[in-house]
Amino acid sequence: MKDSTSALLLVATSLFPMLTLADEGFLADSSLNILNRNFYWSNDFRNGDFAVNPNNGERQSRQAEWAHGVVGKFVSGFTQGTVGFGVDAHAILGIKLDGGNGLVGNGVGVPGVVSRKGSDFDGKPQDEFSKLGGALKARIHKTELHYGDVFPSSPVLAASDIRLLPQSLRGWLLKDATFDGLALQAGKLESSSDRAASSHRGDLGTVYGGRLKDADDVAYLGGSYQLNDNWAFKLHTSRLDNVWNQSFARVDFTQQLGEKLSWDTGLNYYRTRDTGRALLGAIDNDSWSTHLGVNIGHHRLLAAYSQIRGDQPFDYVWNTYDLQLDNASQISDFNNPNERSWQAAYTYDFAGLGVPGLSVTTRYLSGDNIDGRKAGAGYAYFNAVSDGKHWERNVWVTYTLQNGPAKDLAFKVFQATHRTSRHSAEQDVDQLRLIVEYPLDLRLL
């Protein structure tokens, strides 16, 4: 507990100097957010499947981890003048509450929420793990330039925040909102700080190809345009050094038919081709998805279809996550070589029964036609899969307090069941995530 206190003091003192800068405009638009996140994670493997303990190589038929995270983020305003300057900072702390060596993954590549010691996260589970980060920024009119530890948000590069603690990347970002309805962004990132890492100099790479020391940077450019209440568009492109060029296009359409009736549809498309030294081998992948959703009062019905056209899986930058294919799910991304997948989902908003903030989603997804026999060396673990199939079932329950002293306190239960057939690249597993979050937003003036 003494170490925990020291780490929390480090978090607080790292943010304090930012609060003492009193330049008008700098503090007036500043904010401090402190998120407490309590996370329990369980994987129960089935039908002989297992995970490998990264510390001793032993088989794990079950993973169970419990941890608490504190994420403090300070976002300043900008100083006055033609060119305004500011600074952002974050301090992050994770505390293991339960999980021994035989039950913990590594919090990075192997699913989980508890970090292990060592640069490869293969040591004993850590009782605590923390890090500090920050970025300088400048603004001219509605254009901002950020440099340092940043959180990009793009369909081709998005810092992940789906575990205990968020990922960040180091480099520069450019954002522009000069034109109404049009949001532009660009960036060049040179390293990653994983979700359970203390270092900001982690290697880049890809989720399905692993970390790659020879991938020096990832650069991207993109924009989103809201034409009107009905139409919205996205177009982004990126280059992961010596691995691939990846582009993304999206169109969304929404139509309100009445006070309690609306429908929406859309199309997502990714194009990925190898480039440079092609560290993961030849990549020739076109992946797309579409959906149809109907909202009737407090009910939502959704059907979706996705297809992966290529002998490699659809892949994305190491540990990032904003995968905009409709069938990406809790356990599987349904992105295997040549895969076709379908989804049916139903959501109910309990505001219809007088309980605002409570919602339940049930989903069923099925994929087939998985064939990885021609996958290159970077994805060789797919070579044994032909005519693979799998399915996943999800039940998600979320509840957020709408008012009172604990307003915004959120409870989340995510349960998933995943089963495979002739598909050795994924596992049979029952997964449970229990999450409690409490965000505290502070205005400094």
> Can you tell me which residue has the tokens 């030849």?
282
pLDDT at 28: 84
pTM for the full model? 0.92
Would you say residue 174 lies in a domain? no
In a 13 Å sphere around the CA of 443, the CA atoms on its Cβ side amount to 4
| Spatial distance between the Cα atoms of 206 and 296, rounded to a whole number of angstroms | 40
Report mean pLDDT in 10-residue bins for the chain, 445 residues. 45 45 72 97 95 92 96 95 95 95 85 87 92 96 97 96 95 97 98 88 92 94 97 98 97 96 98 96 97 98 98 95 94 98 98 97 98 94 96 98 95 98 95 97 75
pLDDT at 445: 66
Residue 392 tokens read as 């996943």
Would you say residue 190 lies in a domain? no
User: Do 389 and 258 share a domain, yes or no?
Assistant: yes
User: Do 45 and 149 share a domain, yes or no?
Assistant: yes
Q: Which of 153, 188, 219 is the last residue of a domain?
A: 153
Would you say residue 159 lies in a domain? no
Q: Which of 119, 136, 153 is the last residue of a domain?
A: 153
How many other CB atoms are found less than 10 A from the CB of residue 323?
A: 21
Q: Which residues contact 189 (CB under 8 A, 6 or more apart)?
A: 150, 152, 157, 169, 170, 171, 172, 204, 217, 218, 219
User: Do 128 and 208 share a domain, yes or no?
Assistant: no
pLDDT at 195: 86
Would you say residue 189 lies in a domain? no
The CATH number given to whatever domain includes residue 94 is 2.40.160.10
To the nearest 10°, the Cα dihedral for 423, 428, 434, 439? -10
User: Do 28 and 137 share a domain, yes or no?
Assistant: yes
Q: Which residues contact 275 (CB under 8 A, 6 or more apart)?
A: 239, 242, 243, 244, 245
- How many domains does one find in the chain? 2
User: Do 344 and 230 share a domain, yes or no?
Assistant: yes
User: Do 279 and 402 share a domain, yes or no?
Assistant: yes
User: Do 127 and 224 share a domain, yes or no?
Assistant: no
DSSP labels, 15-33: HHHHHT---TTTTTT-EEE
Domain residues for the domain of 319 are 203-445
User: Do 416 and 273 share a domain, yes or no?
Assistant: yes
Q: Which of 126, 153, 180 is the last residue of a domain?
A: 153
Would you say residue 173 lies in a domain? no
Would you say residue 170 lies in a domain? no
User: Do 112 and 210 share a domain, yes or no?
Assistant: no
User: Do 134 and 274 share a domain, yes or no?
Assistant: no
User: Do 114 and 232 share a domain, yes or no?
Assistant: no
Would you say residue 376 lies in a domain? yes
pLDDT at 20: 44
| Spatial distance between the Cα atoms of 196 and 39, rounded to a whole number of angstroms | 13
Would you say residue 225 lies in a domain? yes
> Can you tell me which residue has the tokens 């530890």?
149
User: Do 129 and 275 share a domain, yes or no?
Assistant: no
